[in-house]
Structures are given as structure tokens and as C-alpha cells.
């Protein structure tokens, strides 16, 4: 079964930037829509960015204009460039299919935005 490994999180000050990476163990990015999700403490997991198999991108209103999703099919990796980070972006970030199917979630990567 395909597994996801997220990385690139950390502690950053408001207004800063981070680039997240998600590596998949199989070649699925060219077949499926891929997305970045996040889950803040006490909140439900939400989809923040999607890269469709047709090459289109979609973003949640809360991150539009600040986050950019991209992918490298040859490396089986999807990225999330996050700029102008805000404290409310603090969450554990995950990647998975869109919509979520039967693949397991990875361990996620923690992003903390704080001064």
C-alpha cells in the first residue's frame, strides 16, 4: 500500500515561510488528485490545497494567495510552499488523496507559527 511521509515543518515567526514536502512510496501523483490537509488542536482536519491530476490547483480561502502547492511526478513528491504565515496556520500538516480514499495517513509534520 502507498505510504506518505511528510517533512519540512517547524517553528516560524508570523510572516515567515516554510516549504513542506510529501513523498509517496508509489507512483500515484499522475493518476490521482493530491492534497495538503491540516489539523489544528481541537479542530477537524481540513483540506487546504489540492493539485489535480489535470494540473489544476485549488485552495481554501484561508490560504489563498499565501500557499502554493506543486508536485514532481518523477520524484513522487508533492510540495506546499507557505508564505506570510499566521498563528492560525499552526497545525499538523498531512498529504493524501483528494478525496481521501482508503490510504493511511502519514505521521504529518508540525507547523507552529509563533513569535
Contacts of 104-108 spanning 24+ positions with Cβ under 8 A: 104/1, 104/3, 104/4, 105/4, 106/3, 106/4, 106/5, 106/6, 106/22, 107/5, 107/6, 108/6, 108/39
Which tens digits make up the pLDDT trace of 59-82? 999 999 999 999 998 889 999 999
Residue 49 burial (10 A CB sphere; 0-12, 13-18, 19+): buried
User: Does the pLDDT at position 27 exceed 80?
Assistant: no
Which tens digits make up the pLDDT trace of 82-109? 999 999 999 999 999 999 888 899 999 9
Q: Which of 106, 70, 89, 81 is nearest to 13 (CA)?
A: 89
User: Does the pLDDT at position 44 exceed 90?
Assistant: yes
pLDDT, position 28: 75
Q: Which of 84, 80, 5, 25 is nearest to 47 (CA)?
A: 80
Amino acid at each position: 500500500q502507498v505510504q506518505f511521509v511528510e517533512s519540512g515543518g517547524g517553528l516560524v515567526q508570523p510572516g515567515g515561510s516554510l516549504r513542506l514536502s510529501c513523498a509517496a512510496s508509489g507512483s500515484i501523483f499522475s493518476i490521482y488528485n493530491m492534497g495538503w490537509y491540516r489539523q489544528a488542536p481541537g479542530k477537524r482536519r481540513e483540506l487546504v490545497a489540492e493539485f489535480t491530476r489535470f494540473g489544476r490547483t485549488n485552495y481554501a480561502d484561508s490560504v489563498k494567495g499565501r500557499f502554493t502547492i506543486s508536485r514532481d511526478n518523477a520524484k513522487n513528491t508533492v510540495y506546499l510552499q507557505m508564505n506570510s504565515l499566521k498563528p492560525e496556520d499552526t497545525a499538523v500538516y498531512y498529504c493524501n488523496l483528494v478525496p481521501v480514499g482508503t490510504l493511511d495517513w502519514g505521521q504529518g509534520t508540525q507547523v507552529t507559527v509563533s513569535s
